[in-house]
Amino acid sequence: MTAEQEDRLVRAAWEARRHAYAPYSRFAVGAAVMADDGQVFSGCNVENAVYGATLCAERVAVGQAVASGRRRLVAVAVVAETSSPTTPCGTCRQVLTEFAQDMPVVIDNGRQRWHFRLAELLPQAFGRSQLDGR
């Protein structure tokens, strides 16, 4: 991913974060994923009084990509106003792995950026290869 693509991805995540629905936690998160054709899809967290029904920003962004026919994701950005990196939760890591075994994960808090690889955030991920042997 080029620096320009990374900046575009992070900007899309910050824009999506503006629309976060977080009345319970007051913790607004934005995310954006990039498909292999360069198209960017964004999402924000959508909380619910039944906490288990809450949608994370990353899964909303992945859903947007899939609903648009994209299946190959190549990068993700997650943004929040925190002092330390706000990485994808375990469920989001698993969902992202469904569409890319490894990808750059860019975390931004408006003052600093961190760079990870999905495979380092979710080593030994469960995936299609485990189901192939059933």
**Which CATH number belongs to the domain containing residue 29 in this structure?**
3.40.140.10
Instruction: Using pLDDT thresholds of 50, 70 and 90, give the confidence band for residue 122.
Output: very high
Does 58 qualify as catalytic in the annotation? Answer: yes
d(CA 111, CA 83): 9
Beta strand 104-108 with 73-79: parallel, antiparallel or unpaired? parallel
Instruction: Please give the DSSP secondary-structure letter assigned to residue 99.
Output: H
**Conformation bin of residue 69: beta by default, left when phi > 0, alpha when psi is -120 to 50:** left
Is 0.85 topped by the overall pTM? yes
Q: How many domains does the chain have?
A: 1
pLDDT score, position 133: 64
Catalytic member of 4, 47, 58, 120: 58
What is the domain extent for residue 42? 3-132
